Amino acid sequence: METTGCGTAIVTPFRADGAIDEQALRALVRWQIDAGIDFLVACGSTGEAATLDEDEWLDTIRIVVDAAAGRVPVWAGCTHNSTRTLLRQAALLRDVEGVDTILSANPYYNKPNQEGQFQHFLALANAVYPTPLCLYNVPGRTAANLEPLTVVRLAEAAQNIQAIKEASGNLIQIAKLIHRLPRSFKVFSGDDGLALATIGVGARGLISVASNEAPAEVGEMVRAALRDDWATARAIERKYANLFEANFWDSNPGPVKTVLNLMGKCNPHVRLPLVTPDGGTRARLERVAGDLGLLQCVPAGQSE
């Protein structure tokens, strides 16, 4: 896996009738790439993969791959809390040409121990070999933490386990992980607000929520840090820190879809059990986005 830098965990836009808005998704992909994003992650948490039907999940990945047209790598989210189901779904990805890497989060709800997670991810790695696999540690969503020693075991057991998106929020754990893994194994921050701190201890990039709204700026923040231009990186972080926080004023991706709607990029709709942020939160998000200049080029009538 050669990918480094900033990847957008891209939203999945929906029409008013609840169907996937393919036109809006294709436009978002093109805008992201034109803005200089380094790679795209389809059907992750921000892409509401948990509420997509299996056919919709595959179609969304195909749309992103097709719209990207080889200009940037496309990663595909593939997560399930049943290992048998996960392996069946992973097999479906073999028919999707152009997927560069598979991203898979901890099994959710079951709360497996470290051995259970080890066997789960190893089975997936063997099933998708030789496609690279990026582990995704997000205990705040899954109630399962993937510990550094387990990640090291996995990296040693399967050569296509080549990266991890670390969203534990535990910088000490992330530092231990980076120190124990070979340099060839890539650690990506899963938190916009911790991206610079994580890169500072050796991470190779960020898989971002905020780059949905500001791909050029968040991408440059990450690339500046990676080239040791910390003055530039910190200046961008300070400017966008309020947006990083605002994107979690309600359950992700409600806020980011609201901001994209205010920007005229897509509808704000999310799928139950998520609901769109209330009017008060929308007004607060509009103030944050307006202060950052994100709303300057919104076509008239496009923010509803």
Sign of CA dihedral 122, 126, 128, 129: positive
Given this model, what pLDDT does residue 303 score? 41
Confidence of residue 2 (pLDDT cuts 50, 70, 90): confident
Given this model, what pLDDT does residue 302 score? 42
Q: Is residue 272 part of a domain?
A: no
Domain that includes residue 127, residue range: 5-228
What is the C-alpha separation between 59 and 66, in angstroms, rounded? 10
Number of domains in the chain: 1
C-beta of residue 10 within 8 angstroms of C-beta of residue 32: yes
Q: Is residue 10 part of a domain?
A: yes
Q: What is the CATH number of the domain that holds 212?
A: 3.20.20.70
Q: Is residue 248 part of a domain?
A: no
Given this model, what pLDDT does residue 161 score? 98
Confidence of residue 61 (pLDDT cuts 50, 70, 90): very high
Q: Is residue 113 part of a domain?
A: yes
Given this model, what pLDDT does residue 300 score? 41
What letter would DSSP give residue 218? H
- pLDDT 10s digits, 93-126: 988 999 999 999 999 999 999 999 999 999 999 9
What is the C-alpha separation between 227 and 116, in angstroms, rounded? 38
Mean pLDDT confidence for 251-275 = 97
Mean pLDDT confidence for 128-156 = 96
Q: What angle do CA 42, 136, 107 make, to 5 degrees?
A: 100
- pLDDT 10s digits, 63-78: 999 999 999 999 999 9
Q: Is residue 88 part of a domain?
A: yes
Q: Is residue 125 part of a domain?
A: yes
Q: Is residue 152 part of a domain?
A: yes
Residue 139 CB neighbours (<10 A)? 18
Q: Is residue 30 part of a domain?
A: yes
* Ordered DSSP codes for 241-291: HHHHHHTTSSSTTHHHHHHHHHTTSS-----TT-----HHHHHHHHHHHHH
Given this model, what pLDDT does residue 89 score? 95
Catalytic residues: 136, 165
